[in-house]
Amino acid sequence: MIRKLSLLFITFFFLSACQFPADPDKTLEKIEMIKKMKVGWCGGPFDELVLKEKDLINALSQTLDATVTWESDLQEVLFEKLEENKLQVVVCRIKENSPWKDKLAFTTPFFIHKKEKFVLALPPGENAWLKYVNEFIVQFKEKNDQYF
């Protein structure tokens, strides 16, 4: 009996693992379906980092055949919208060690400047979306040496 229960548990565990990584709010699925990506941006001075963020988002949207809708606001406001799944990405000169890293999903760094590592912020818990964006960043950096 114990052996059968153990086998049943193991089978259930492996079958449930087939669903991971998952997006509870289906972020990746929604972007692929509606072909639109909502991106929060803080504005600020126009410099090298802003260009890199814009290039990165435009290239990401192309892989999904999606158009980008930009929303400009204060970083904190954009992060709150990200928490509520009202945005899919935020680019705001976000440093890897930001205090928001515990509330949001941060990507792998896409740019280093003066030893500071910069990341994108994504909605928390959207693991399939995070995996997709991280894999994209790795490929993007391989093709664009100036990013890392």
Measured CA distances, 5 to 2, 9, 116 (Å): 5, 6, 51
pLDDT in tens, 54-87: 999 999 999 999 999 999 999 999 999 999 999 9
Q: Are strands 89-95 and 36-41 parallel, antiparallel or unpaired?
A: parallel
Top-confidence residue, 10 or 70 = 70
C-alpha to C-alpha distance for 130 and 142, rounded to whole angstroms: 18
- Mean pLDDT (the chain, rounded): 86
Sketch the domain layout of the chain as residue ranges: 21-147
At 128 the pLDDT is 96
Strand partners, 105: 122
Q: What is the pTM of this model?
A: 0.82
119 in Cβ contact with 12 (< 8 Å): no
Backbone φ, ψ for residue 21 (5° rounding)? -75, 145
pLDDT of 45 strictly over 90: no
**Sign of the alpha-carbon dihedral angle for 76, 51, 89, 112:** negative
Identify the weakest region by mean pLDDT among 21-30, 39-48, 105-114, 129-138.
Answer: 39-48
pLDDT of 41 strictly over 90: yes
C-alpha to C-alpha distance for 31 and 65, rounded to whole angstroms: 9
Is the CATH number of domain 21-147 3.40.190.10? yes
Look up residue 80 and give its amino acid: E
pLDDT of 16 strictly over 60: no
